[in-house]
Amino acid sequence: MTTLQMTAPASKTFSGHTFSVDSVRQDFPILATMARGRPLVYLDNAATTLKPKSVVDAVEKHLLLGASNVHRGVHYLSEKATAEFEASREAVRAFLNAKEKAEIIFTAGTTASINLVANSYGSMLKPGDEIVISAMEHHSNIVPWQMLCERQGLVLRVAPINDRGELLMDEFEKLIGSRTRLVAVVAVSNALGTVNPIKDIIDLAHSRDVPVLLDAAQAVAHMPIDVQALGVDFVAFSSHKLFGPTGLGVLYGRRELLDRMPPFLGGGDMIKSVTFAKTLYADLPAKFEAGTPHIAGVIGLGAAIKYVQTVGLQQIAAAEAELLEYGTKRLKEIEGLKLIGEAQHKTSILGFVLDDVHPHDIGTILDQEGIAIRAGHHCTQPLMDRFKVPATARASLAFYNTKHEIDALVAAIIKVQRLFA
């Protein structure tokens, strides 16, 4: 198995800076929590990442000292909030290497971003047109397309995967035909950890003039997403998967496509003028940002991006690669445990099943040991069906986790086995 990007000690020096897990853990006060009378071991990062103090401070500062609506006010507080809000948009633009800020749309989350594309870009499609997704998609990248297909008579095609959890590219290529109008695929599987060959997917789709939407919810905290280098058309991700506040998402879209697409929601701030006869819509990005936005969340996301850039995605990837390699080795030592998802290229997700023990029981018992994991279908029920399991237990790692915490996980799983023996 090849882990994402590189494998390196957590104390390795990069560009004159030393990464220290002990140091970064100090940035996350919640890691000092006692859970069920034991030190918290947080291994549920694929569900949501923890928030560094700098992000909480940025949100608190805005709410306490700068709370005001943005864009429409002419007073000091509104101008200050607007400047901070738009500075965060610029931070997202730079983070994704988009050409311009107008290509960055703030939404309520990855799900909202995908629904925006489904309802806006999708409204321009015709009966018989096809959309291609993969068998490892999250429900948020399945259900909106199913709803669109039912509403407009479209056809949804699903690219299969192999037993390791890897996309079968030959089969994927066969699905892209003359009626394909969009490819929507996950960059990193939230249940398997599989890192898809997104550049190959995009190049293949573009060779047939098909745009691509990338669900990057699980990717942005672990690997760089350069939209210009990839040539991708749409990218969706959530703030809370990137150490930022919940209830906030981002949609990147190429201007050429966004300009053609009609607004998804109507209301305040997305208009140039309104009469009872006709409404003229605002320019990008306001056209897709109706109503008062999640201002504190946007400011918090800007702080989260600054934090990630300070630590460094290279350092983060290296630390997580080492943890994934160690965790994979330790879990494979447990007799009766089966990993679900062993792609050659994957990131820090360890999904597994245990002989004769339901994942919900595993999660409940681990919780009594102070260990937080996720148990269930992870909003990927078709994927669970593919592997013929009702659910998995999932330990998902971040750069602030440690090998000691993985050892604690292994010890707790062995305790589960003993209880059910």
Cis peptide before 285 (omega within 30 of 0): yes
Q: Is 149 a catalytic residue?
A: no
Select which of 158, 365, 379, 410 is catalytic. Answer: 379
- Any idea what the Cα angle at residue 145 is, between residues 301 and 283, rounded to 5°? 50
Question: Which residues are known catalytic residues?
Answer: 379
